[in-house]
Amino acid sequence: MTFNRNYFDIGRLDRLAYGRTWVHRLDPRSKVVATLLYLLTVVSLPKYEVAALTPFFLFPVLLAALAGIPARFILRKMLIVSPFAIVIGIANPLLDTRTAVVIAGTPLSGGLLSFFSILLKFALTVGTTLLLIATTSFPGVCHAFRRLGVPSLFVSQLMFLYRYLFVLMEEAMRIVRAREMRSFGARGAEIRVYVRLVGTLFLRTVDRAERIYDAMLSRGFQGDIPTLGRSRMAAADLLFVATTVGFLGLFRFVPVTEGIGRLAQGVLG
Amino acid sequence: MHMADALLSPAVGTTLWAGTAAITGFASHRLKKQIDDRTIPLMGVLGAFIFASQMINFTIPGTGSSGHLGGGMILAVLLGPHAAFLVMASVLTVQALFFADGGLLALGCNVWNLGVYPCYLVYPFLYKPLAGGGKSPGRVLTASVVSAAVALQLGAFSVVLETLLSGKSELPFEAFLLLMQPIHLVIGIVEGFVTAGVINYVRTARPEILASMAASRPLGRDVQLRKVLATFAVLAVVTGGVLSWFASTHPDGLEWSIQRVTGSDSLPEAGQGIVSVLKRFQEKTAVLPDYSFAPAGNEAQKAEESPAWPMVDGGTSAAGIVGAAVVLGMVLLVGLGIRSFRGRNS
Amino acid sequence: MSHHIVEFKDVHFRYPDGTEALRGVNFRITHGESVGIVGANGAGKSTLLMHINGCLLPTAGTVTIGDFALTAKTRREVRKKVGVVFQNPDDQLFMPTVFDDVAFGPLNLGMDDAAVRERVDQALALVNGRQLKDKPPHHLSAGQKSSIAIAAVMAMGPDILAMDEPAASLDPRSRRLLIALLNTFNHSKIVASHDLDLILDVCQRCIVIGGGTVVADGPAREILTNAALLEANNLELPLTLQGRS
Amino acid sequence: MSHHIVEFKDVHFRYPDGTEALRGVNFRITHGESVGIVGANGAGKSTLLMHINGCLLPTAGTVTIGDFALTAKTRREVRKKVGVVFQNPDDQLFMPTVFDDVAFGPLNLGMDDAAVRERVDQALALVNGRQLKDKPPHHLSAGQKSSIAIAAVMAMGPDILAMDEPAASLDPRSRRLLIALLNTFNHSKIVASHDLDLILDVCQRCIVIGGGTVVADGPAREILTNAALLEANNLELPLTLQGRS
Ligand SMILES: Nc1ncnc2c1ncn2[C@@H]1O[C@H](COP(=O)(O)OP(=O)(O)OP(=O)(O)O)[C@@H](O)[C@H]1O
Ligand SMILES: Nc1ncnc2c1ncn2[C@@H]1O[C@H](COP(=O)(O)OP(=O)(O)OP(=O)(O)O)[C@@H](O)[C@H]1O
Ligand SMILES: [Mg+2]
Ligand SMILES: [Mg+2]
């Protein structure tokens, strides 16, 4: 059943992508470029940086809020993402125990700081990537890739993969269901049966590819997947990218958090 | 074992991005000339198949845990290296985008680890010789198990290197290696068995499919193989060069770990870091501040000449924490505000 | 004896992507009844059928089969009693030959080889499919696949039979045979279909599903002649009742 | 002008596994005719349809479409004239959004962007599907998928339309809409189906296929009321003609 969950989750993510807010309507290229710049900037922050990472939450939070993406859904998806980074990062506090900073009399080790840093980066990168799909749609991202110069053969793969992902996953789910129904938990999950199931799925996939190819030929396919000239980058897109760059530059190179902290301390104190 | 954005440094990420982008271009170019256009939908649908097949699981005998099909190896066998590589790259792209598994920056690493090795290294040099014509189920089994295991070992090893070179993790090299390699040996062997099973099943059920696929993939002919190899070698050298340059200028990753494991116990109380005025300036202007102009020399020296990070000063740090809390609060408020505004309007 | 009872009590089901496919379904089918489930595309018929043997479990409400409330724990037992034939026969034939496929269920029930062979033989005879025994399923025509999928379920000797759109790709003779087959099966049966004539031939009772709830429930003859009700649910009079000018 | 003629002359076809699916098929369909193809499961209907635009090429005999004998060389030309909708709409909607899918054909015909947009718009309007433009196909219902598959073919402006079992999973209302849609298309059309009532509603002529050859060929009304002929081919009277006691 865990797989079903996974599957339905991407179904939901996919559905969100067909929303109609102005974030959704931005040119996919501008969102792809902005996201990549964002990721690079976040990742470029030094190992022990914690406080300076916090302003970067503004970007995903703004995007999610403006595009009407339910925050809880994105958060839940973040939890089921492979925890590799966290598993690796959790070793840091154990290994790097040198005191790096003393705050209000409490010594904090370098490992602890770098672990927090990894956690924050994890949240920022994963959340923003999910938001890219949730606001752009997968076909949108593909079109953006193509127009940003990614080889068209590769992009065609991606589009077919996306289109048939849902079809084949449902097929696989129905196969699993059929097996479950007639196996009573007793047998039916051995490698031998498994290999046949996957083999069958494979054969049917190949047959399906054949039928798809026939359908493509029937509609004049000549070896290249044609595309229509899509939307042009509008003023809104340029503005969006420019704002993003400004935002990234500001938070990357100016210690904003610290300043705000001082200010707050000043006000309080 | 997808490499993750959060563990990555921009240098490692972009280097591998460049490497895999080059290979993607190369593979597309090659394929465009070779394939009959029937292969285009086939590749796409097989990518979806890799996902779908992962929804079906089996119980690993004697353990009660369950496994499923990997991807790179079986694709290489069925489609040949170029097509398999592109499909694998698509699969990983979808994982990065839809599941945020790995992430966009780490995509380069992941395509390298899970696509380049099985398709361009293991398949031509290990699988093909071992499997022979692929007619004998026994040889296919041996070849698949060995290939899948080796491919995954290479992949796992690369994850270790990439992580350590990125310098975000404190895990010592050897410990990390010990953590990664054995697990992936087991996974690789299981994957090999399954791969062989499926290939042999397909061969008995519909021999014509494997035959027709083989027909549309001329990589077996060695002229091209040599070119592939040359390209691969060049890329490997470039990547290796960049990585090792990077490693040598960035001591807080690999070297430090090794040093730590080899037991120079006189570890400094304070961390290494970026301190000098020049370096602070650097940090504020360069995109990759950690990596350029890093003073050569080993950890101990550095620690001696530099005060603790980041200029331990209760005030500053406390200000950092307070600031972080305030910033997060403001961000949250902004989000909630927009949401309730939208809610009222719709 | 409550053995072959199927009871839905306020069953709700939401697909994890948010689609509310069932919104409070209530009915009770007693032993020996034959019930047709009809409704528009997307009304929730298939979703409902998948609840009958626990392929899906309700998000709220309860499904009771015989003596068991259907839960993740009891569904294994329940599946021995309930045979379900789903909409797409392709997905149900997963073994390399027709014989292997029909034998899969009986083998998993732990029968010995001879008994399995006999079961398979009987089940194939039931759908006129003996000559297809050694064929691989992917080389069958659409209608042949449907027949085999039915045989595979019948081979397990179910007490309750549920079928989703069983006649969609059958030729008229095979459809007629299926109707006859269903009429000889005298335990409870539940058939979801757009083929209202088939429902009229096979079922005494008919449930109309619309928007995830039961819109109407009554004698098939009555429901399927109620033009206004049918119209409102994207249906129309069974063709045999429409006649032709 | 022989433009929209479809002619099969002694067409044989054997699948690679040895199954002889067609064994000498002969017929000629002239411009503007609407022809139903009926027959038992496995009779060879789908196989026949795949010959009409050269997805399969005869092992022996010739298929002529308009002025061309269909060969590996001419089939590209032929495909511009012949639109085929196969049995499974999922296999025909292969692009990631409805718009892209419908635009695929016109783009391949080399039209410019504005013309393509217009074509797509018209084709979608034809099937009442304009509002689905930006949806991905996997968010469509079965009936919607069928409609879009038809729109995608219609967007190429075919002179001849061939469809394999177009109504199989549609609810009665969607089926009725499809019948109306087919009746507005006034070039040649060929429909293979087990739904004899649909054939009767849409086609003037009917060809019965049995065992890979043409068993009967004549006016639909005549063929589909010939009980003995139908019986011999696993068929039966259309349900609307059967009435009910
Ligand atoms: N896997 C799924 N994920 C999300 N929503 C689904 C899924 N399967 C079905 N649905 C939705 O649930 C609702 C009920 O679907 P269901 O398949 O039960 O309808 P149905 O009555 O069987 O229709 P049909 O006559 O076309 O077979 C529909 O709105 C459908 O879009
Ligand atoms: N790919 C294939 N390989 C081998 N034999 C096939 C293949 N497809 C169909 N056949 C066989 O060819 C014959 C004709 O099949 P076809 O699919 O044309 O029948 P059909 O009239 O469309 O049947 P249905 O009404 O069930 O769709 C059948 O005997 C079938 O088993
Ligand atoms: Mg259904
Ligand atoms: Mg057919």
If one counts every other C-beta atom within 10 angstroms of the C-beta of residue D121, the result is 15
Q: Is D39 in the pocket of ligand 2 (CB under 6 A)?
A: yes
B133 pLDDT higher than 50: yes
The whole-angstrom distance between B62's CA and the closest CA on chain C is: 20
State whether residue C105 sits within 8 Å of chain A by CB. yes
What is the β-pairing status of strands D20-29 and D160-164?
A: unpaired
- Over residues B14-72, the pLDDT tens digits come to 999 999 999 999 988 888 877 677 788 888 889 989 888 877 777 766 655 555 666 88
Rounded-to-integer distance, Cα C32 and Cα C5, Å? 9
**By residue range, what is the domain housing residue A92?**
1-150
- In chain C, which residues have their Cβ closer than 8 Å to the Cβ of D176? 236
B201 pLDDT higher than 90: no
Confidence of residue A269 (pLDDT cuts 50, 70, 90): low
Confidence of residue B268 (pLDDT cuts 50, 70, 90): very low
Share of chain B above pLDDT 90, in %: 13
Does A268 fall in a domain? no
B274 pLDDT higher than 70: no
- Report how far Cα B235 is from the mean position of its chain's Cα atoms: 16
Report chain A's mean pLDDT, rounded to a whole number. 83
- Half-sphere exposure of C10 toward its Cβ, with a 13 Å CA cutoff? 2
Number of Cβ pairs closer than 8 Å across B and C?
4
Of A91-105, B289-303, C2-16, least confident by mean pLDDT is B289-303
If one counts every other C-beta atom within 10 angstroms of the C-beta of residue B337, the result is 11
Instruction: For residue A207, give the ligand nearest its CA.
Output: 2
Segments making up each domain of chain D, as ranges: 2-241
Q: A198, B130 in Cβ contact below 8 A?
A: no
State whether residue A161 sits within 8 Å of chain D by CB. no
Q: Is D51 in the pocket of ligand 2 (CB under 6 A)?
A: no
CB contact under 8 Å between B37 and A121, yes or no, is no
Region D147-152: mean pLDDT is 89
Q: Is C45 in the pocket of ligand 1 (CB under 6 A)?
A: yes
A3 pLDDT higher than 50: no
Region A63-82: mean pLDDT is 84
Region C228-242: mean pLDDT is 91
Which residue type sits at C178? L
A27 pLDDT higher than 50: yes
Of B6-10, C57-61, D45-49, least confident by mean pLDDT is B6-10
Does A243 fall in a domain? no
Confidence of residue D220 (pLDDT cuts 50, 70, 90): very high
pLDDT of residue A8: 57
The whole-angstrom distance between A215's CA and the closest CA on chain C is: 18
pLDDT of residue C129: 84
Q: D94, A160 in Cβ contact below 8 A?
A: yes
Region C218-229: mean pLDDT is 93
B93 pLDDT higher than 80: yes
Rounded-to-integer distance, Cα B36 and Cα C3, Å? 59
Give me the sign of the Cα torsion angle B160, B166, B167, B168.
Answer: negative
Q: Residue window 191-210, chain A: list those with CB within 8 Å of chain C.
A: 196-197, 199-200, 203-204, 207
CB contact under 8 Å between A202 and B53, yes or no, is yes
Nearest to C171 among D15, D194, D243 (CB): D194
Does A108 fall in a domain? yes
H/E stretch holding D175 reads helix D172-184
Does B175 fall in a domain? yes
User: Exposure string (b/e) for B37-55, b if CB count within 10 Å is 16 or more?
Assistant: bbbbbbbbbbbbbbbbbbb
Does A182 fall in a domain? yes
DSSP codes of every residue in A79-106: HHS-THHHHHHTTHHHH--SEEEEETTE
- Over residues C157-207, the pLDDT tens digits come to 888 989 988 888 788 988 888 888 888 887 889 999 999 999 999 999 999
How many Å lie between the centroid of ligand 4 and the Cα of residue D10? 20
How many Å lie between the centroid of ligand 4 and the Cα of residue C149? 17
Q: D144, D123 in Cβ contact below 8 A?
A: no
Region B135-161: mean pLDDT is 90
Beta bridge partner(s), residue C60? C12
- Over residues A194-237, the pLDDT tens digits come to 888 888 888 888 888 888 888 888 777 877 777 776 666 788 88
**Degrees (nearest 5) of the Cα angle B223, B228, B230?**
95
Number of domains forming the structure of chain B: 1
C90 or D196: whose pLDDT is higher? D196
pLDDT of residue B111: 93
Closest by CA position to D178, among listed D197, D157, D206: D197
Region D105-109: mean pLDDT is 88
Of B239-248, B290-299, B310-319, C230-239, least confident by mean pLDDT is B290-299
Share of chain D above pLDDT 70, in %: 98
Rounded-to-integer distance, Cα C18 and Cα A79, Å? 19
**By residue range, what is the domain housing residue B60?**
5-19+27-292+309-344
Residue B108 sits in a domain whose CATH number is 1.10.1760.20
Region C141-145: mean pLDDT is 78
Nearest to A186 among C86, C94, C108 (CB): C108
CB contact under 8 Å between B260 and A103, yes or no, is no
B256 pLDDT higher than 80: no
The residue whose CA is least distant from atom 1 of ligand 2 is C139
Cα Rg of chain A (Å, integer)? 24
State whether residue A220 sits within 8 Å of chain D by CB. yes
Closest by CA position to A63, among listed A2, A131, A113, A1: A131
> Coil, helix or strand for A242?
helix
ipTM: 0.82
Q: B47, A177 in Cβ contact below 8 A?
A: no
Q: Are residues A6 and A63 in the same domain?
A: yes
Instruction: For residue C86, give the ligand nearest its CA.
Output: 3
> Coil, helix or strand for C172?
helix
Q: Is D20 in the pocket of ligand 2 (CB under 6 A)?
A: no
Domain boundary among A150, A178, A210: A150
The residue whose CA is least distant from atom 26 of ligand 1 is C41
Confidence of residue B313 (pLDDT cuts 50, 70, 90): very low
Does B303 fall in a domain? no
Region B71-92: mean pLDDT is 89
| Domain made up of D2-241: CATH architecture | 3-Layer(aba) Sandwich (3.40)
pLDDT of residue A167: 85
Region A22-29: mean pLDDT is 88
pLDDT of residue B220: 42
Q: Residue window 45-84, chain A: list those with CB within 8 Å of chain B.
A: 46-48, 50-52, 54-55, 57-58, 61-62, 64-66, 68, 71, 77-78, 81-82, 84
Rounded-to-integer distance, Cα D243 and Cα D245, Å? 7
Chains that touch C (3 or more CB pairs under 8 A): A, B, D
CB contact under 8 Å between D173 and C236, yes or no, is yes
Share of chain D above pLDDT 90, in %: 45
- Over residues B209-227, the pLDDT tens digits come to 776 665 544 444 444 555 5
The residue whose CA is least distant from atom 16 of ligand 2 is D44
> Coil, helix or strand for C192?
strand
Region D214-230: mean pLDDT is 94
What pTM was computed for the model? Answer: 0.80
Q: D92, A215 in Cβ contact below 8 A?
A: yes
pLDDT of residue C196: 93
Residue given tokens 């990218």 in the structure block: A241
B298 pLDDT higher than 50: no
CB contact under 8 Å between C92 and A178, yes or no, is yes
Give me the sign of the Cα torsion angle B164, B170, B173, B179.
Answer: negative
Question: Which atom of ligand 2 lies at the shortest distance from residue D209's CA?
Answer: 21
Q: Are residues A174 and A184 in the same domain?
A: yes
Confidence of residue B1 (pLDDT cuts 50, 70, 90): low
Closest by CA position to B32, among listed A223, A160, A195, A234: A223
Report chain C's mean pLDDT, rounded to a whole number. 87
DSSP codes of every residue in B143-203: HHHHHHHHHHHHHHHHHHHHHHHHT-----HHHHHHHHHHHHHHHHHHHHHHHHHHHHHHH
A220-229, B265-274, B290-299, D142-151: which is most confident: D142-151
- In chain A, which residues have their Cβ closer than 8 Å to the Cβ of D139? 14-15, 18
